Chains A and B, each alone.
Chain A
Amino acid sequence: MTAANCPSCGAPVAFAIGTSAVVVCEYCRTLVARTDRGVEDHGKVAALIETGSPLRVGLAGKHVGVGFRITGRTQMRHQAGGVWDEWYALFDNGAWGWLAEAQGRYYVTFRVADKRSDDERSDEQRSAEERSDRLQPVDARLKPGATSRGATSPGAASRLELGSRWDDLVVTEIGVAELASAEGELPWRPDPGAKYEYADLTGAQREFATFDYSEDPPIVFKGYETTLAELGLESTERRAARVRVEKLSCTNCGGPLELRAPDQAERIYCPNCGAGHDVTEGKLKFLSTIRKKKTDPQPVIALGSKGAIDGVTYVVAGFMQRAVKFDINYYWTEYLLYNADQGFRWLVHSDDHWSFATPLRAGEVLDSAPLGVPKTISWGGKQYKLFQEATAKVTYVLGEFYWKVEKGEAVDTSDYIAPPEGISKEVTRTGAREVNYSHARYLDQKQIAAAFAIGKPPRPSTIGPMQPFTGAKLLGSWIAMLGILLLAAMFIAATKPRRALIDRSFDVAAAPPTEGAPETARVLFTDSFDLSGRENIGIKGFASIDNSWLYVAGDLVNEATGQLDSFELPIEYYHGVDDGESWNEGSRTKRAYIARPAKGRYAVRIEAQWPQGVIPPPLHLTVREGVFRWSHLILAAIVLSVFPALAVFRQMRFEMARWKDSAHSPFGQWQDEDE
């Protein structure tokens, strides 16, 4: 340990760590820098802003099995107004790590060193690197949504040992940070008030990297998003889970204002008079008043209400209305929810549809054109289809927000859906340039009413983009039932006895005329046969008639009882050529079926008639016992298919209604034609 006195106030300061560069005087907040000649005053920093962080100097934890101790922190101010903490941790292996904290998320990163020293590089190499191998400054090449591969010049990634899996990190934010304050021991010498350009990148597997442009060439930090639990700081997390509420008064109307997330609130709009305030450390600075109009939207869920979603209790901190303009303005409202453990979430209310949105890391989302509007994006192994894209503007705000929101704020949005889920992409092109993704899940009326005890919300009159189809989905059941039907049919076909009873031709014209019958009619009888009484009877008649007919009226005659089962075989077949086109109608074969007759001895009586002046061909008659009925199988399959077909039709109509307002509807062409 190196002891010294603060060059500004004379208070004792101590460098407990051999590799630290600066220690902040606890008494006068002077940055005391260690030099070859002793210590020197490096300027004063402002007092720390209370951020409600669960971390503190001196706290010990572990990362990937290596112990660390927090030695100090800097507070950086975001250009949108917020501050975040960067904690410096000295690891047991002598390495310095950075523990960044923003909106309830933690990132542990390490500086990426240039492996080759100056001595190892030739002048030519150095010259080449000067020209092209450095990280590029914040310029057009480094845009939100670009990958780290694109963000660095060719070769830079490998030179900086980012490794191949780091090539596809996505730039999520580019901005300017201002050093606001510091405490403890730091491994570098910050300049009070200095501004640093930076770019943050995230990956699919919680990778996180920062390009820090405070030096030339820029410094790269890489690491991972982590949790306090993973850092062995769970007890700290619990300590932080307390929700503090600060009660203030509106500077304009004097009405009560409550800060639900006082550590993170940047702006609050009075629900009584609409006065907007900047929030700094829980103090309010009046900005302007949004003129209240009768047409202003009213929150369905009151600010300050608490509700539980997925078992987590959130408080409604803010309310805003946004709009996109197509032919007319389309409005929707969003509620900012806050939970001390989970951070911020959104409830989106549009056309009486509700969804619950959770922010995502940009790197998690597979997006082929992060700055563009691709037709699909993927997240969590699921593909989401583009529903609409537009520029969304804030048209009304109430309550508290973690950024300096104001009326007129615009972002480019594109919404992707995979009902009941969706991904919303927002690209901010002004100020701190950011691309943000959030995952939304549809909530039905019961869920939203149960979560926030707001009574029964109105039923939507339209189909929402993420609204799930709740009608029957019978495809799987239908296939299963058809399978069972086929098995039953196969079983019947394979096991039932089949027997030919009659299979012969009858020369009807040669039969003797019957008394009382017309000249062109004859009556014949087949031989007798026995029936089991357990099977149906199939009768087939065939006659090679040509442009003629042979009408057969038959009876299955029980020889013992005289009971008749009548059937008809109206055989007729006509064909010809009309206007050069051949045609035919009828059939030379006809079939009839009789349900199982009683057991007994039977014969078939055949009464055949034919046209005058024609000699009829022989009639070939086949009579079988136990006939497989294909028509019954087809009819059963049709009956089984009716409800699934109706369900599919209903779902199609639902999907068409869902995509009605989308410019990317898969039914677009059809709907256009319909309209």
Chain B
Amino acid sequence: MMRKLYVLFALLVIGGYAYAGWTGMELSASKKGFAPQGVRGQHSGARSFWYTGYRGGK
């Protein structure tokens, strides 16, 4: 019984892995956002925007 349950569980894990690998899924989603509308409307669009403030670093 336990063996059957394990095999079922394992097949689900393998199926999930295969699905993720085949469709290009990632375990953690990247942070999504949009370039500010104003920036997008400027010359060269999104390439010109700058976040305000410090975003990281040592």
Mark A residues whose CB is within 8 Å of B.
471-474, 477-478, 481, 484-485, 488-489, 491-492, 496, 514-518, 523, 525, 534-536, 549, 551, 553, 555-557, 559, 561-568, 570, 572, 592-596, 603, 605, 607, 609-611, 626, 628-629, 632-633, 635-636, 639-640, 643-644, 647
* CB 8 Å contact bits of B1-42 with A (1 = contact, 0 = none): 011001101110110111011111111011111110100100
Chain B residues with Cβ below 8 Å from A647 are 2
Evaluate contact between A594 and B26: CB separation under 8 angstroms: yes
25 contacts between A and B (CB under 8 A): A472-B3, A474-B2, A478-B10, A484-B11, A484-B14, A492-B18, A492-B22, A514-B50, A518-B54, A551-B58, A553-B56, A555-B33, A556-B30, A557-B35, A557-B46, A562-B40, A564-B34, A595-B26, A596-B23, A611-B57, A629-B21, A636-B13, A636-B16, A640-B13, A647-B2
Evaluate contact between A593 and B26: CB separation under 8 angstroms: yes
Evaluate contact between A633 and B17: CB separation under 8 angstroms: yes
CA of A611 to CA of B55, assembled, Å = 14
Chain B residues with Cβ below 8 Å from A564 are 31-35
Given contacts A596-B24, A626-B24, A639-B13, contact A551 B56 (CB under 8 A): yes
CA of A516 to CA of B14, assembled, Å = 49
Chain A residues with Cβ below 8 Å from B23 are 534, 596
Given contacts A534-B23, A643-B9, contact A563 B56 (CB under 8 A): no
Chain B residues with Cβ below 8 Å from A477 are 3, 6-7, 10
Q: Which of A478, A489, A561, A595 contacts B24 (CB 8 A)?
A: A595
14 extra A-B contacts, CB within 8 A, seeds A481-B6, A564-B33: A477-B6, A481-B7, A481-B11, A488-B17, A536-B25, A564-B31, A564-B32, A566-B33, A570-B57, A595-B30, A609-B54, A632-B21, A636-B14, A640-B13
Evaluate contact between B31 and A566: CB separation under 8 angstroms: yes
Q: Is B43 an interface residue (CB 8 A)?
A: no
Chain A residues with Cβ below 8 Å from B11 are 481, 484
Chain A residues with Cβ below 8 Å from B37 are 562
Chain B residues with Cβ below 8 Å from A489 are 17, 21
- Please give me the 6 A-B residue pairs with the lowest Cβ-Cβ distance, nearest first: A472-B2, A551-B57, A596-B24, A536-B24, A481-B10, A549-B58
- Report the minimum CB–CB distance from A599 to chain B (whole Å): 12
Mark B residues whose CB is within 8 Å of A.
2-3, 6-7, 9-11, 13-14, 16-18, 20-27, 29-35, 37, 40, 45-47, 50-52, 54-58
Evaluate contact between A607 and B32: CB separation under 8 angstroms: no
Chain B residues with Cβ below 8 Å from A496 are 21-22
Evaluate contact between A488 and B14: CB separation under 8 angstroms: yes
Write the chain A residue with the least CB distance to B29: A595
- Report the minimum CB–CB distance from B39 to chain A (whole Å): 8
Chain A residues with Cβ below 8 Å from B9 are 643
Chain B residues with Cβ below 8 Å from A610 are 57
In the complex, number of A-B residue pairs with CB atoms less than 8 Å apart:
146
CA of A249 to CA of B11, assembled, Å = 69
Evaluate contact between A534 and B17: CB separation under 8 angstroms: no
Write the chain B residue with the least CB distance to A567: B30
Q: Which of B10, B18, B35, B52 contacts A562 (CB 8 A)?
A: B35
Evaluate contact between B26 and A644: CB separation under 8 angstroms: no
Write the chain A residue with the least CB distance to B44: A525
CA of A647 to CA of B10, assembled, Å = 15
Write the chain A residue with the least CB distance to B17: A636
Evaluate contact between A632 and B27: CB separation under 8 angstroms: yes
CA of A556 to CA of B26, assembled, Å = 15
Write the chain B residue with the least CB distance to A471: B2
CA of A639 to CA of B12, assembled, Å = 11
Given contacts A551-B58, A562-B35, A565-B31, contact A644 B14 (CB under 8 A): no
Chain A residues with Cβ below 8 Å from B29 are 595
Chain A residues with Cβ below 8 Å from B40 are 562
CA of A210 to CA of B20, assembled, Å = 75
* Residue from the set B13, B37, B57 with the largest chain A CB neighbour count within 10 Å: B57
Chain B residues with Cβ below 8 Å from A535 are 24
Write the chain B residue with the least CB distance to A536: B24
Chain B residues with Cβ below 8 Å from A594 are 26, 30
- Report the minimum CB–CB distance from A610 to chain B (whole Å): 8
CA of A316 to CA of B31, assembled, Å = 77
Chain A residues with Cβ below 8 Å from B26 are 536, 593-595, 629
- Report the minimum CB–CB distance from A594 to chain B (whole Å): 5
- Report the minimum CB–CB distance from B20 to chain A (whole Å): 6
CA of A72 to CA of B30, assembled, Å = 98
CA of A568 to CA of B45, assembled, Å = 22
Q: Which of A473, A478, A515 contacts B50 (CB 8 A)?
A: A515
CA of A633 to CA of B33, assembled, Å = 29
CA of A488 to CA of B58, assembled, Å = 40
CA of A568 to CA of B58, assembled, Å = 13
CA of A593 to CA of B35, assembled, Å = 20
- Report the minimum CB–CB distance from B28 to chain A (whole Å): 8
CA of A502 to CA of B58, assembled, Å = 26
* Residue from the set B14, B37, B54 with the largest chain A CB neighbour count within 10 Å: B14
CA of A611 to CA of B58, assembled, Å = 8
CA of A472 to CA of B3, assembled, Å = 6
Chain B residues with Cβ below 8 Å from A481 are 6-7, 10-11, 13-14
CA of A536 to CA of B23, assembled, Å = 8
- Report the minimum CB–CB distance from A201 to chain B (whole Å): 46
CA of A557 to CA of B45, assembled, Å = 11
Chain B residues with Cβ below 8 Å from A592 are 30
Q: Which of A559, A562, A643 contacts B6 (CB 8 A)?
A: A643
Chain B residues with Cβ below 8 Å from A525 are 47
Write the chain A residue with the least CB distance to B52: A516
